């Protein structure tokens, strides 16, 4: 995949502060699961297969994400079954390539996999992923799969109607805003007098522009800007994909497969993105996950949009974790509200699904591991781990009594994540998606350099058409139209 993966940039910022891979701080396993529990069924089925001691390898994103299997789930699985888990840490930018290389080599070095859902068509077409339906039925997992939040379940699990992965990370963009600023009586009066509507989290990008401009004008002297956002191109391309579709844009003509990203809607989206930088902090064009987080946690912006970890970090939850030393101490704990981004259909950016490598020499054992990881019981513990970045993705995660009590506003946070999951938009998923994304990433770089938005998108569309021709128009058309038919591809109008 692209060498400019945003997850790789985050991993580079935290690489030097990871805690040792010891099983310290494990959450207690209840030990009371019945045979009707999918986690326990996986454990009981794995025990005889693990007799004599075996090792299962699983590919995982390098960085904080890998602390889940290193510190918690891997040691617990070994304790319960006797099987060791070998965690193969790979930067996200290299995961697609390494999975494909191992498949082609046929070495059997990988058993279980983490894959970004938008890669699935590519990996399935190549034959690199094992179809899971027979295992799901054998080990009675279909009922628990139904309880994965619908957008993830219906859009990130199957290719051509067959199961190839279990959605396992509820990545979605939501808006975080300063409740104290938006509730300020003086600001509310002045804003209402100027714009004739109430100061509140913006529902449209026009409102975002007006509110951001107003708050910067009023608060800049105090070191506070109206908003800050991801602008580094690997992140901004996802924000463009979201905004473009919320405004009514479509990426391709479904009949001809000609790129339509350079429509008036696309140009307007790029123009708006650049225009809004005027009320954001200096240097925002280079803001990635870490830079934007730092500005928000220090109280220097009134609004931002990001993945779910921002909500936990802003609340001050896990502030004493060694692995999170890189996160600035929150100056805004208790002051943060949560809302859907403008347009109401946030990007389900990246995310992960658990799969089985088709080249594995112990596929059944690999399957049992991912069923156990993904199960109601174990996933409810994993999404609360104090050092990993797995985000809620099951219905039960949003109502988990323990999670609801983690900080005073956790209930509102989880309610917003649930709402976002119900209206979220999938990342574009094609054959060679990474090449389409790279063209768009370069386009965003040109936007910050001052190039004309129409000329930028005309060039992007030309590159997309060339990629489509190389892949094969009919072949790509079938993949695109299957993706476009999914409930999370485009907003329902």
- The first and second tokens of residue 416, run together, are 């917003």
- pLDDT, position 292: 96
pTM over 0.85: yes
276-309 pLDDT, tens digit each: 999 999 999 999 999 999 999 999 999 999 999 9
Mean pLDDT of the region 195-223? 98
Q: Does 385 score more than 90 pLDDT? A: no
Q: How far is CA 236 from the centre of its chain?
A: 14
Q: What angle do CA 389, 391, 392 make, to 5 degrees?
A: 155
pLDDT at 26: 39
Say whether pLDDT at 2 is over 50: no
Tokens encoding 337: 């509200």
332-344 pLDDT tens trace: 999 999 999 999 9
Fold category of 6-171+349-398 in CATH: D-Maltodextrin-Binding Protein; domain 2 (3.40.190)
Every domain of the chain and the residues it spans: 6-171+349-398, 173-345+416-493
Q: Does 20 score more than 60 pLDDT?
A: no
Cα separation values, 29 from 33, 247, 291, 371, 406, Å: 9, 46, 37, 16, 19
7, pLDDT greater than 60: no
What average pLDDT does range 305-316 have in this prediction? 94
The arrangement of strands across the sheet holding 174-178 comes to 303-306, 174-178, 336-339
Measured from the Cβ of residue 222, the count of other Cβ atoms closer than 10 Å reads: 8
> pLDDT tens for residues 44-82?
999 999 988 899 999 999 988 899 999 999 999 999 999
CA 207 to CA 212: how far, in whole Å? 8
Cα–Cα distance for residue pair 128/359, rounded to 1 Å: 7
Q: How confident is the model at residue 25 (pLDDT cuts 50, 70, 90)?
A: very low
C-alpha 12/C-alpha 300 separation (Å) is: 24
Question: What average pLDDT does the structure give for the chain?
Answer: 91
114 pLDDT exceeds 60? yes
Q: Is the pLDDT of residue 450 over 70?
A: yes
Question: Do 231 and 448 form a contact (C-beta atoms < 8 A)?
Answer: yes
Q: Indicate if the alpha-carbon torsion angle 310, 315, 319, 321 is positive or negative.
A: negative
- Angstrom distance (rounded) from CA 174 to CA 239: 11
Q: What is the dihedral of CA 50, 53, 59, 60, to 10 degrees?
A: 100
Confidence of residue 35 (pLDDT cuts 50, 70, 90): low
Task: Please report which confidence band the pLDDT of residue 319 belongs to, taking 50, 70 and 90 as the band edges.
Answer: low
pLDDT computed for residue 493 by the predictor:
67
Which residues 6+ apart lie within 8 Å of 98 measured at CB?
A: 59, 90
Same CATH topology for 6-171+349-398 and 173-345+416-493: the answer is yes
- 173-345+416-493 CATH, one of 3.40.50.300, 3.40.190.10, 3.40.50.10090, 3.40.50.1370: 3.40.190.10
């Amino acid at each position: 995949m692209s060498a400019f993966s945003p997850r790789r940039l985050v991993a580079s910022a935290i690489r030097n502060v990871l805690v040792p891979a010891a099983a310290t701080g494990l959450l207690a396993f209840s030990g009371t699961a019945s045979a009707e529990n999918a986690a326990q069924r996986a454990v009981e089925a794995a025990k005889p297969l693990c007799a004599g001691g075996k090792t299962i390898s699983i590919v995982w994103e390098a960085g904080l994400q890998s602390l889940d299997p290193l510190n918690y789930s891997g040691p617990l699985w070994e304790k319960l079954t006797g099987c060791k888990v070998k965690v193969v840490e790979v930067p996200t930018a290299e995961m697609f390539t390494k999975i494909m290389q191992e498949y082609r080599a046929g070495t059997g070095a990988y058993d279980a996999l983490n894959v970004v859902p938008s890669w699935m068509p590519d990996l399935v077409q190549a034959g690199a992923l094992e179809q899971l339906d027979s295992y799901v039925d054998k080990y009675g997992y279909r009922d628990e799969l139904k309880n994965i939040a619908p957008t993830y379940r219906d859009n990130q699990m199957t290719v051509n109607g067959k199961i190839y992965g279990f959605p396992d990370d509820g990545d979605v963009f939501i808006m975080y805003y300063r409740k104290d600023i938006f509730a300020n009586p003086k600001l509310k009066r002045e804003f209402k007098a100027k714009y004739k509507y109430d100061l509140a989290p913006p529902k449209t990008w026009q409102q975002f522009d007006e509110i951001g401009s107003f708050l910067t004008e009023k608060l800049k002297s105090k070191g506070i800007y109206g908003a800050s956002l991801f602008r580094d191109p690997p992140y901004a391309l996802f924000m463009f994909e979201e905004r473009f579709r919320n405004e009514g844009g479509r990426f391709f003509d479904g009949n001809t497969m000609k790129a339509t990203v350079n429509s008036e809607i696309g140009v307007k989206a790029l123009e708006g993105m650049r225009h809004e930088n005027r009320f954001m902090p200096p240097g925002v064009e280079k803001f990635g996950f870490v830079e934007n987080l730092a500005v928000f946690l220090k109280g220097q912006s009134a609004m931002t949009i990001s993945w779910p970890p921002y909500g936990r970090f802003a609340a001050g939850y896990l502030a004493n974790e060694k692995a999170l030393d890189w996160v600035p101490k929150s100056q805004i704990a208790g002051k943060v509200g949560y809302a859907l981004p403008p347009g109401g259909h946030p990007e389900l950016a990246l995310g992960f699904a658990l799969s089985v490598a088709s080249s594995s020499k112990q596929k059944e054992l690999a399957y049992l591991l991912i069923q156990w990881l993904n199960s109601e019981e174990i996933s409810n513990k994993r999404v609360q781990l104090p050092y990993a970045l797995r985000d809620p993705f099951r219905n039960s995660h949003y109502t988990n009594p323990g999670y609801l009590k983690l900080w005073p506003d956790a209930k509102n946070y989880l309610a917003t994540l649930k709402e976002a999951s119900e209206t979220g938009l999938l990342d574009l998923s094609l054959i060679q998606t990474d090449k389409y994304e790279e063209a768009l990433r370069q386009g965003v770089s040109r936007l910050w350099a001052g190039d004309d938005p129409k000329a930028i998108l005309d060039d992007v569309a030309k590159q997309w058409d060339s990629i489509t021709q190389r892949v094969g128009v009919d072949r790509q058309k079938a993949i695109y139209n299957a993706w476009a038919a999914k409930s999370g591809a485009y907003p329902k109008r």
